[in-house]
Structure 1
Amino acid sequence: MPRFALLALLLLGPAVCVPATQLVGQPAPDFALRSWDGANMRLSEHSGEVVLINFWATWCGPCRQEMPLLDEIYGKYRRAGLVLFSVNLDEETNLDAAREMAKTLRVSYPVLFDARKEVSRAYQASTMPLTVLIDREGVVRYISEGYKSGYETRYTEKLRELLNE
């Protein structure tokens, strides 16, 4: 490997390749994003509630599988204090497709748009989907990168723990 490439990797690698799981135990980065109905939603307005944030994109097949399952979880636990934010990472030119996908999948939770990728960078969302659980104190307690059948069981277990604290 040329020396310059090795130096660049050593200097830039850790800053670029920090896994999202390093946020566990840290205060959740606050954000405000516009939802598809035009309302601005701010994470810090939900202090004292358990929050699940799901980062997704229209090009992500596992995201399409996971979203209806998250909607079931949301329907079951929202009265117990669950807040769910769905953060779409598509480009601004593709927001209509994102709206259509969420509508087709009949999600009932808020869909927020992060076309500038500021929130996804704060949460180090390099894998899609990325699911983040935040406790009532605003601390990131669990992160799941990607999705495979059965992951929703883990979300439910972690969610129950947080709702019972």
Structure 2
Amino acid sequence: MATLAASTAYVVIGDGAPRARSGNTLAIQRLDGGRETLADFRGRAVLLTVWATWCWSCRQEMPALARLHRQSQGRPLVIIALSVDREGAEIVKPLIEELGVADLAVYLDPEGGAVRHFSISGLPTTILLGPDGLERRRWYGARAWDEAAATQEIASLLADKPDKVAP
């Protein structure tokens, strides 16, 4: 009897093209129904992952994002997992519990404002916004965010401060 072993590999592409785009005006909804904008996080760097419950690679990277969130406590880095599921909290909350990542800051964007605002073409897409609100880098695909290579890259990008501040 033959056994079929499958392995999955993901390619993560980092895009460091300069962008003056700011997410400051993007409105996002907390799981409890409250609303915020990315401007509410100004002064802190934001690692924004845009994801959906139906996206398998998104599900796979959520535990690593939660671990990075735990490692980042007390530091000026906010980890936000922004779901673009149209069904909103009804479908997102059960998955968050199932994955054991309830301590991760999960927000909702059922209208897909982030997809349009940041011109996102695939999930997951992760965008690093500096404390000034400007996009520093984006990555396409799932990644082990809590591993040394990822945390060092984020730290390096945040140490390289741009001269201008987003409106």
TM class by smaller structure? 0.7 to 0.9
Q: How many residues align?
A: 145
2:60 to 57, 65, 70: 65
Q: How much has 1:80 moved relative to structure 2?
A: 1.2
1:27-66 → structure 2 map (5 Å cutoff):
27-30=21-24, 31-66=26-61
Partners of 2:73 and 2:19 in 1: CA distance: 23
2:150 to 132, 149, 155: 155
Query: Which residue is 2:10 aligned to?
Result: none
RMSD: 2.4
Instruction: Give unmatched runs, 5+ long, in structure 1.
Output: 1-19
State the secondary structure of the residue aligned to 1:157: helix
TM-score (norm 2): 0.75
Partners of 1:164 and 1:22 in 2: CA distance: 15
1:84 to 79, 87, 92: 79
State the secondary structure of the residue aligned to 1:80: coil
TM-score (norm 1): 0.76
Q: How much has 1:86 moved relative to structure 2?
A: 1.1
Amino acid at match of 2:91: A
- 1:98 paired with 2:92, answer yes
Amino acid at match of 2:37: R
Q: How much has 1:23 moved relative to structure 2?
A: 6.9
Partners of 2:121 and 2:133 in 1: CA distance: 22
Query: Which residue is 1:138 aligned to?
Result: 133
Instruction: Give unmatched runs, 5+ long, in structure 2.
Output: 1-13, 161-167
State the secondary structure of the residue aligned to 2:74: helix
Q: CA, structure 1 residues 145+37, in 2 after alignment: closer, same or farther (shift >3 Å)? A: same
Q: CA, structure 1 residues 138+150, in 2 after alignment: closer, same or farther (shift >3 Å)? A: closer
- 1:26 paired with 2:14, answer no
State the secondary structure of the residue aligned to 2:131: coil
State the secondary structure of the residue aligned to 2:132: coil
